[in-house]
Structure 1
Amino acid sequence: MVFVYMAFRTYLYALSGMFIKHPMLDMESMIQQGQFDSILTKPINPLFHVIARQFEYTFAGHIVLYIFTFGISINKIETQWSLGKILFFITFIFGAVLIHSAFMIITGSLSFFIVKSKVAVETAIYGLRSFLDYPLTIFNKFIQVVLTFILPYAFVNYYPAEYFLRKTNPPIFNSALYYMTPVVGIIMIILAILIWNNGIKHYKSTGS
């Protein structure tokens, strides 16, 4: 079971991290040093420009690790794959990557509002992400509510894993949540873009 959660988490984090992680980690220094001014002078979307400037190829190792881990895990669990499950698996990956990316963008956007935002980004990427290594059921009700309805990391791997594993235990809240990863992903990325755009409106050049 733990292999499944770790495999999902590793793979989805790697897909997001390839494009989003380092640009968001660098936002603090870019703004402090006035480098973000040059981004705003370009005739393309600033968020796209920031992301397109960097590509972290080292995350390819995480993806290889996922494929290996998932290959081991899938042979140890009993699930019947169908066309419907395969299609859902694809949409689940799409939604989960959006959730990861949204958190990175939101925390990176804090650089527009506070001087030191790198700690917040690292907390979102490394600290909260550690919750994804374990089933949501091992945490108390408060944590379950937070990770489902406030910081919806549970939709990255817990609820999809419950769908694929077809657990006999009753759902924590509602079984409909098993299917909500793509929806939550779209909502989160829209929220992240809104926060980013609002941050740009509050951005003040360093003048350097």
Structure 2
Amino acid sequence: MNSFILYGHFLKVYMKIQLEFRFSFIGDIFVNMFTFITVYLSFWVMFNTFDNLNGWTYWQLIFLFNINLFTYSFSSLFFWAPMKYLEQTIKNGDFDNFLTKPMSPFKLLIFRQFQHTFLGHIIISIFVFFLCLNHLHINWNINSVFFLLYSLAGGVLIQSSIIILAGSSAFWIFKSSSFVDLFTSSVRNFANYPISIFGKTVQLILTFLIPYALVNYYPVTYLIGNNNNSYSYPIISFLTFPVGVILFLLSLWGFKRGLVRYEGAGT
């Protein structure tokens, strides 16, 4: 509880600083919203050419994309900037200061940075989510609502874990920021589409090795009943949260292993 209170103080200071430049703050959010509006429009253009994508309709694909976007954006509010720039923090010697503070270096690293630009992603994804509800024939009840929230929580944990693990590579390699970009952009973009359109090798990787498919594909196929993939056994759709918890604990362990290895800016 004390950690949450302390983070609230850090966040309050961050927001005060950002709101000193309100036009820039609001502009950052709206630019990111506009960026993804163009993405949604590109899907619309694509579906004006093709009726469906391997059996997926426009609104089903948007729903799939939207869950990937929301969980990634929510995770990135807290973890993207600290992990993306950990490489630079180590190189310029600032990370040494973290070791002298009466707080876990990981907590301090996360607490001192917040990426408000992802608020635009979250706002547009919530708006589009409600649009999807009007076009998808999902039988909403207590069970399905709980399943969606359960899957979203697990998706956030998986996205956060991948960001932390990629960023923690800074303790071993010099270009960890490229590593973060690789996993949070290039690899994650595969999850913007149904994995059933890819070959079996890609499906296996996205299911069992880098489990982005657990973030959105399997939960969405369960909710909308669009199941045309050989790995879509019903139980897989329920693994998002437990896998997320395991991966998150693994990512914290990975960061701690890197911390043990770290000997100072000179190394």
User: What is the TM-score of this pair, normalised by structure 2?
Assistant: 0.75
Q: What's 1:118 paired with?
A: 177
Q: Which amino acid aligns with 2:120?
A: G
Aligned counterpart for 1:166 among listed residues 218, 225, 231? 225
Deviation, 1:167, is 2.4
- SS of the residue aligned with 2:243? helix
Given the alignment of the two structures, is residue 95 of structure 1 paired with residue 122 of structure 2, yes or no?
Answer: no
Alignment of 1:31-180 (within 5 A): 31-167=90-226, 169=228, 171-180=230-239
Shift of 1:169: 3.7
Aligned with residue 3 of structure 1, among 62, 65, 69: 62
CA gap 1:165/1:119 in 2 versus in 1, 3 angstroms: same
Name the count of aligned residue pairs.
208
Between the aligned partners of 1:58 and 1:117, the Cα distance in structure 2 is: 22
Q: What corresponds to 2:85 in structure 1? A: 26
With over 3 angstroms needed to count, the CA separation of the structure-2 counterparts of 1:170 and 1:31, relative to structure 1, is closer
Q: Which has the larger radius of gyration?
A: 2
Going from structure 1 to structure 2, the CA distance change for 1:198 and 1:71 (only over 3 Å counts) comes to same
- Per-residue CA deviation, residues 28-77 of structure 1 (Å, 9 max, x unaligned), is 01111111111111111111111111111121111111112111222111
What is the CA distance between 1:170 and its match in structure 2?
A: 6.1
CA RMSD of aligned residues (A): 1.4
Mapping of residues 178-193 of structure 1, within 5 Å: 178-193=237-252
Counterparts in 2 of 1:126 and 1:170: CA distance versus 1, 3 Å: closer
| Kept in 2: contact 1:132–1:158 (CA 8 A) | yes
The one-letter code of the counterpart of 1:102 is S
Query: Aligned equivalents of 1:129 and 1:165: distance in 2?
Result: 22
Q: Distance in 2 between matches of 1:152 and 1:177?
A: 11
Give the Å deviation of 1:172: 2.3
What residue ranges of structure 2 are gaps of 5+ in the alignment?
1-59
Q: Contact conserved, 1:24 with 1:108, CA < 8 A, in 2?
A: yes
Q: Is the 8 A contact 2:221 2:227 kept in 1?
A: no
